[in-house]
Amino acid sequence: QVQLVESGGGLVQPGGSLRLSCAASGIMFRINAMGWYRQAPGKERELVASITNDDDTNYADSVKGRFTISRDNAKNTVYLQMNSLRPEDTAVYYCNANIKRLLWSSIQNYWGQGTQVTVSS
């Protein structure tokens, strides 16, 4: 099976920084695009940032210039560097990976367990 494990969430003051990590593990798979989503209480889950196989990135307007997504293919890991954090960034952040299962050439989306990010004074 394929599993995504997230880490790096926590409580920070406004203007602070956090770095989220998401590592994929398993057998016979290849990762395509990866991304970070977030969901605040009472709101729908939204795409924060994504990165393709070609390192093409996309960001929500609300985080442009503050967040940076990157990936380390050798480690099957995607990162989200979050700077200049604001209270409105408070949410549960979820890692997502589009993964090809090599045995059957099937493509599936996998989700991390979620990590809480709280920005408060």
The proportion of the chain whose per-residue pLDDT surpasses 90, expressed as a percent, equals 92
Neighbouring-strand partners of residue 91: 117
Backbone phi, then psi, for 100, in 5-degree steps?
Answer: -95, 125
The residues near 49 (Cβ < 8 Å, ≥ 6 apart) are 35, 36, 57, 58, 59, 60, 63, 67, 68, 69, 80
| pLDDT given at position 104 | 86
Contact between 34 and 20 (Cβ < 8 Å)? no
pLDDT tens-place string over residues 20-78: 999 999 988 999 999 999 999 999 999 999 999 899 999 999 999 999 999 999 999 99
pLDDT tens-place string over residues 75-119: 999 999 999 999 999 999 999 999 999 888 899 999 999 999 999
